[in-house]
């Protein structure tokens, strides 16, 4: 007697299945790693923006203090303030991904500085000293809005990474 023969067809080999699975796992790992690096880079930029924006307050008061004391470092402090105000960390906030309120507050600070800057070169620098508290108040509102926006963004990250 002869044993019945069955036609067995092999659709995919085990090696092919394992290779495709490993490629899928590797692709997923690359995507997750890319997202993690993007998140890290964005949080570093956020921290730099907060630090720079926060330093504007201190620098504004330092310029007023320099006026009162007639400090020899007065001009250096003005240049330092302008560099901070127009730094890349803050200029990067001027894009569509940043809420309009923050962009408007930043532009308002720039416009206010354009008005105050000539007063620092005039003989009567008292106008700046009188206006510094209002200017710092505008800076505070900008920093607060920026912090709230970035805090909201940080809360979303753990949800995406979970």
The pLDDT assigned to 5 comes to 67
Q: For position 162, what pLDDT does the model report?
A: 44
Model confidence pTM above 0.75: no
CA distance 14 to 7: 19
pLDDT tens-digit series, residues 16-39: 889 999 999 999 999 998 887 776
pLDDT at res. 41:
63
* Residue 64 located in a structural domain: yes
Q: How far apart are CA 108 and CA 129, in angstroms?
A: 19
117 domain residue, yes or no: yes
The pLDDT value recorded for residue 161 is 44
67 — pLDDT class (breaks 50, 70, 90): very high
The CATH number linked to 94 is 1.20.120.960
Across 5-19, 27-41, 51-65, 120-134, which has the greatest mean pLDDT? 51-65
Backbone angles phi, psi at 113, to 5 degrees: -65, -35
Count: domains in the chain: 1
For residue 105, the model assigns a pLDDT of: 94
Using the predicted structure, report yes or no on whether residue 9 has a pLDDT greater than 60.
Answer: yes
Task: Please give the Cα distance from 138 to 157 (Å, whole number).
Answer: 29
Residues 35, 91, 138, 115, Cα dihedral to 10°: 180
> Taking residues 110-131, what's their average pLDDT?
90
Q: Confirm whether 19 is domain-assigned.
A: no
Domain of residue 139 covers 42-161
Interatomic CA distance for residues 146 and 124, integer angstroms: 34
């Amino acid at each position: 007697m002869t044993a019945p023969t069955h036609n067995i067809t092999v659709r995919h080999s085990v090696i092919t299945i394992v290779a495709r699975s490993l490629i899928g796992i590797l692709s997923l790992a690359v995507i997750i790693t890319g997202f993690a690096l993007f998140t890290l880079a964005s949080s570093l930029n956020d921290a730099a923006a907060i630090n720079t924006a926060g330093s504007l307050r201190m620098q504004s008061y330092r310029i007023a203090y320099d006026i009162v004391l007639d400090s020899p470092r007065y001009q250096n402090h003005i240049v330092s303030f302008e560099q901070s105000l127009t730094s890349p960390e803050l200029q990067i906030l001027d894009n569509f991904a940043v809420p309009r309120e923050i962009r408007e507050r930043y532009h308002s600070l720039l416009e206010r500085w354009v008005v105050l800057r000539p007063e620092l070169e005039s003989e009567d620098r008292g106008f700046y000293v009188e206006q510094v508290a209002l200017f710092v108040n505008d800076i505070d509102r900008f920093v607060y809005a920026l912090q709230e926006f970035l805090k909201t963004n940080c809360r979303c990250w753990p949800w995406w990474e979970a």
